[in-house]
């Protein structure tokens, strides 16, 4: 049960139990979910209605919304989406980052906007800027901190500003609309992962990394990973 993972006395996650029970990435995600001080009893709710009860009408509305959000480049038979997912999973980064990118693309990460939608929190304001709702596309692209990091990376050298409806559109643009190198795509994945990791570190008392620090760490991490892969290939020859 979820309440087994919560330290009721301190009203916080039992991080020792979580770290010993889940994979590192899963433990990091769980630990990053804010807990309410009220600690209400667990119950099943339907996030698409204000009272938490399932209705056919709300399910139909969700289906219509999802259909409307489908990237413009996808085709009716799904071949575009299959190509998109194949490209996403083929980016040359550690598996935990590929899995992270898949979860981000599916918008199933515990951003404050998603948690408020599930009626767990009341306030979805981004803690970085204090101005907007902490949605996926805001946290990873629109927020001043993330925007500054992307500008420092010099990855997005375009003639004008780029705007995305959601983070799926952001990934679609990178994988299906522009011709980037494997190294640049890997760096994007690593930066997104590092942004989220630092967010959770800060929630547990860690230090806030600057854009320069995040970029330096990502590049060093990828260089080390690729060096290990190259050494492994040479040993097998």
- Pair 115, 104: CB distance under 8 Å: no
Contact 2, 42 (CB under 8 A): yes
Report field, pTM of the whole predicted structure over 0.85? no
What residue ranges of the chain have pLDDT lower than 50?
69-77
Structure confidence at residue 74 (pLDDT): 43
Whether residue 93 contacts residue 190, with contact meaning beta carbons closer than 8 Å, is answered with yes
pLDDT tens figures, 201-224: 888 888 999 999 999 999 999 999
Q: Where are the domains positioned within the chain?
A: 1-43, 44-73, 77-237
Residues in CB range of 168: below 8 A, 6 or more apart: 69, 71, 105, 107
What's the confidence (pLDDT) of residue 51?
Answer: 67
Phi first, then psi, for residue 92 (nearest 5°) are -80, 75
- pLDDT digits over 67-104, tens only? 554 444 444 446 788 889 999 999 999 999 998 988 88
């Amino acid at each position: 049960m979820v309440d087994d993972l919560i330290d009721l006395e301190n009203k916080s996650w039992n991080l020792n139990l979580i770290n010993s029970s889940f994979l590192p990435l899963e433990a990091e995600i769980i630990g990053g979910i804010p807990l309410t001080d009220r600690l209400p009893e667990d119950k099943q709710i339907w996030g698409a209605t204000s009272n938490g009860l399932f209705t056919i009408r709300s399910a139909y509305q969700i289906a219509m919304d999802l259909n409307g959000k489908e990237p413009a480049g996808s085709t009716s038979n799904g071949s575009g989406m299959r190509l998109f997912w194949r490209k996403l999973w083929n980016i040359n980064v550690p598996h935990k980052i590929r899995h992270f990118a898949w979860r981000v693309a599916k918008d199933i990460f515990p951003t404050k906007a998603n948690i408020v939608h599930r009626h767990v929190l009341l306030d979805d304001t981004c803690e970085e800027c204090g101005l907007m709702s902490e949605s996926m596309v805001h946290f990873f692209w629109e927020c001043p901190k993330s925007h500054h990091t992307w500008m420092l990376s010099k990855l997005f050298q375009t003639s004008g500003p780029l705007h995305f409806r959601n983070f799926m559109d952001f990934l679609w643009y990178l994988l299906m609309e522009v011709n980037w190198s494997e190294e640049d795509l890997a760096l994007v994945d690593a930066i997104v992962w590092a942004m989220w990791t630092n967010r959770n570190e800060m929630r547990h008392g860690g230090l806030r990394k600057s854009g320069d620090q995040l970029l330096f760490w990502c590049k060093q991490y990828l260089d080390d990973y690729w060096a290990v892969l190259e050494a492994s290939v040479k040993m097998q020859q």
